[in-house]
Amino acid sequence: MKGFGNGIRFLAFLLVAIFSGCVPGPENAGSERSAGSDAKIKVGFSMATLKEERWTRDKEEFEAHCRTMGIECVVTVANNNALKQANDVDNLLTQGVDVIVIAPHDATQAGSMVEKAKAQGVPVISYDRLINTDKIDAYISHQVPVIGRMMAEYAVEKAPKGNYVLVYGASTDNNALIMKKEQNEVLKPFVERGDIKIVADQHAADWKADEALKIVENALTQNADNISAVIASNDGTASGVVAALQKNGLAGKVVVTGQDAEKAALQRIASGTQTMTVYKPIKPLAVAAVEAAVKLASGEKPATSPFMNDSLGKEIPAILLKVIVVDKNNLLDTVIKDGFVSYEDVYANVPVGERPPKPE
């Protein structure tokens, strides 16, 4: 009887608590958050891959700023598998995240993930890569069109005439398509004048280095090694490009572009086998995404500017960060000065007597 009496008293307490509003249900959880609740914000970060060095940096910086902001962070990695990423997003929604940040593997397929999140009232940030939907709350990336132009402008400055090979990124990645458009617009007048001939242009599936290697090997074979420049759309594909050139004794003689400022790429630049990369500071990107997520979870809108998604023909809200061209001449003043990589790492493959003086 004693246990029965305690049960009655507990039930009575619970009923009073519910009807007095002390136990919020799912229907008013959002209003509690916006009213300044102490409930901890929970952010889900669905990543496509960690295969490239830069994505490991994104994950580390994202998690670090979540800790700084005192919010919970759940990270999933899809290993370049669109179906797995869809399942990852489903799992994040099941875990009750307040905001989902998605770095998509497939820009178009990821649109359905956004629809599902929005149907549940969960805001979505498209991280680094643009998702093909106008339902996202923010697109946070670097200046992708600028990156594409920078690569092509650098190439034509160094090699204003000759045969060109264009190695684009994955065709499923909107950023690769944006850069492709910008690269070709820069090259167009040179091609029309007959100064430059594009002898090969192809997408490297999943941004794979070995795909880039095959593209360049074929182009070299078909053009008797007569290639002046290869516009590779990131450092991963640039590694495959350089490998193909090395087999033919052409590394350092052909202009090779890239982006991400990966350590291996910076070492190639220091050694002279890769010509340039586009440096995209990762920490500001991750910080911007986390802080935008916190605002969205609190019912606020982050400050954005309109960005045209050409695939949709619609503008979407965006935060785009500045980028920097890095080549052999400014390694010390950019990535090393910023502490992005160390002097020792960059010049690891350069004989001590051939290195520039180490900064004090």
- 43: helix, coil or strand? strand
pLDDT tens digits, one per residue of 45-59: 999 999 888 999 999
Same domain, 180 and 267: yes
pTM: 0.83
Phi, psi of 324 (to 5 degrees): -135, 135
Same domain, 200 and 298: no
Same domain, 102 and 188: no
Determine the pLDDT at residue 223: 98
pLDDT tens digits, one per residue of 124-177: 999 999 999 999 999 999 999 999 999 999 999 999 999 999 999 999 999 999
Q: Within a domain: residue 25?
A: no
Q: Within a domain: residue 67?
A: yes
Determine the pLDDT at residue 268: 98
Phi, psi of 250 (to 5 degrees): -110, 0
Same domain, 67 and 189: no
Q: Within a domain: residue 88?
A: yes
By percentage, how much of the chain surpasses pLDDT 90?
87
Same domain, 224 and 238: yes
Is the predicted pLDDT of residue 31 greater than 50, yes or no?
Answer: no
Longest dimension (CA), the chain: 97
Q: Within a domain: residue 83?
A: yes
Q: In what order do the strands lie in the sheet with 314-321?
A: 72-77, 42-47, 99-103, 124-127, 138-142, 314-321, 305-309
Same domain, 262 and 308: no
Same domain, 290 and 244: no
Same domain, 317 and 334: no
- Comparing CA positions, the residue from 160, 152, 230, 229 lying closest to residue 195 is 160
Determine the pLDDT at residue 360: 79
Same domain, 124 and 260: no
Q: Give residue 38's pLDDT band: very low, low, confident or very high (50, 70, 90).
A: low
How buried is residue 72: exposed, middle or buried, by Cβ count under 10 Å (0-12/13-18/19+)? middle
66: domain CATH number?
3.40.50.2300
Give the integer Cα–Cα distance in Å for 126 and 173: 12
Is the predicted pLDDT of residue 297 greater than 80, yes or no?
Answer: yes
Is the predicted pLDDT of residue 20 greater than 60, yes or no?
Answer: no
Q: Within a domain: residue 29?
A: no
Same domain, 49 and 124: yes
DSSP alpha helix (H) spans, the chain: 2-19, 29-34, 53-69, 82-94, 110-119, 144-158, 174-193, 209-222, 235-247, 263-271, 282-297, 343-346
Is the predicted pLDDT of residue 344 greater than 90, yes or no?
Answer: yes
Is the predicted pLDDT of residue 307 greater than 80, yes or no?
Answer: yes
Range of the domain at 292: 39-142+282-321
Same domain, 235 and 113: no
Same domain, 90 and 61: yes
